[in-house]
């Protein structure tokens, strides 16, 4: 039976690389598929990974109707057995429901890839609906790491090098520290403290200052 599978994880955990590998494996067995993406760091109509892999893709917009897309392709004789949907956190709730309908009504396998929460630790609407509807939610096993070495669980946005927790939910950026709008993965502790790698390095230059808040209550008896 066809499935709707949501592969989730933070940035830098290899989602796009896995998406391309999955497409390769299925197409190598004679299955026909379509790759979709939205707001890829490399531009429009392309799915790219940080390892340097790139593949042409169909750009998803607010007007994209996945049901109509697949029906039109099949009507014109194209074989569509599966969809690879990268950056699925940017899809609308309605588009996720269209993907579920394709699985249930037309037997199309849908493999969606995306992050679950934004830089404010709020769920993306598309990701939330995928969690609600997916047959399976797979957390990628390749762990992103915070600068401290702990498992990264949160995505942080930086503007001009400073971490921010307010602003538009969708602003395209990358993990390049020199970018005006950038992103960084952090563990929960350092996300809550807004301690990015730049802040940690600045603190480390002062030997007498610890990279965390100290309880300064008087402990004398």
pLDDT along the chain (221 residues), means of 10: 91 81 94 93 79 86 97 97 96 98 98 90 93 93 79 82 77 60 85 85 61 45 39
Distance between CA 130 and CA 148 in Å, rounded? 31
- How far apart are alpha carbons 193 and 144 in whole angstroms? 19
Buried b / exposed e along 114-152 (16+ C-beta atoms within 10 A)? bbbbbbeeebbbbbbbbeebbeebeebeebbebbeeeeb
Phi/psi for 94 (5° steps) reads -65, -40
- β-pair type (46-48, 54-56): antiparallel
- Alpha-carbon distance of 82 to 111, in angstroms, equals 8
Say whether domain 1-142 belongs to CATH 3.40.50.720. Answer: no
On whether the CB atoms of residues 172 and 163 are closer than 8 A, the answer is no
What is each CA distance from 159 to 31, 59, 144, 167, 211, in whole angstroms? 43, 26, 21, 10, 21
Nearest CA-CA partner of 87 in 67, 68, 61, 108: 61
Name the 3-class secondary structure at 205: coil
Which pLDDT value is given to residue 155?
Answer: 81
Annotated catalytic residue within 87, 97, 168, 213: 87
User: How is residue 196 annotated by DSSP?
Assistant: -
CATH of 144-214, picked from 2.30.29, 3.30.60, 1.20.58, 2.60.40, is 3.30.60
* pLDDT tens by residue, 10-38: 777 678 888 999 999 999 999 999 999 99
DSSP single-letter state for residue 164? E
For the chain, helix, strand, coil in percent to 5 are 30, 25, 50
| Structure-token match 């037309």, residue found | 106
Q: Parse the chain into domains and list their residue ranges.
A: 1-142, 144-214
Give residue-wise pLDDT tens across range 63-75.
999 999 999 999 9
The predicted structure's pLDDT at residue 128: 96
Told to judge if 87 belongs to the known catalytic residues of this protein, a careful annotator would answer yes
pLDDT at position 34 is: 97
DSSP secondary structure, 33-85, as one string: EEEEESS-TT-TTEEE-TTS-EEE-EEP-TT--HHHHHHHHHHTT----EEEE
Q: pLDDT (tens digit, 9 = 90+) per residue, 50-61?
A: 767 788 999 999
At residue 128, the 3 state secondary structure works out as: helix
If you search the block for the tokens 């990974």, which residue do you land on?
Answer: 49
């Amino acid at each position: 039976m066809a499935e709707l599978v949501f592969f989730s994880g933070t940035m830098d955990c290899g989602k796009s690389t896995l998406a391309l590998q999955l497409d390769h494996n299925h197409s190598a067995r004679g299955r026909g598929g379509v790759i979709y993406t939205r707001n890829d760091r490399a531009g429009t109509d392309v799915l790219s990974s940080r390892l340097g892999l790139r593949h042409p893709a169909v750009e998803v917009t607010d007007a994209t109707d996945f049901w109509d897309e697949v029906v039109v392709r099949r009507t014109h004789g194209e074989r569509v057995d599966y969809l690879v949907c990268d950056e699925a956190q940017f899809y609308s709730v309605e588009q996720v429901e269209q993907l579920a309908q394709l699985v249930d009504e037309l037997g199309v396998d849908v493999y969606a890839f995306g992050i679950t929460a934004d830089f404010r630790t709020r769920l993306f609407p598309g990701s939330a609906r995928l969690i609600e509807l997916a047959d399976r939610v797979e957390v990628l096993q390749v762990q992103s790491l915070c600068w401290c070495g702990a498992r990264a669980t949160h995505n942080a946005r930086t503007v001009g090098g400073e971490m921010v927790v307010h602003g538009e939910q969708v602003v395209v950026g990358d993990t390049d520290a020199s970018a005006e709008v950038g992103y960084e993965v952090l563990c929960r502790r350092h996300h809550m403290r807004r301690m990015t790698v730049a802040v940690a390095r600045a603190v480390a230059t002062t030997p007498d200052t610890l990279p965390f808040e100290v309880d300064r209550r008087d402990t004398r008896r």
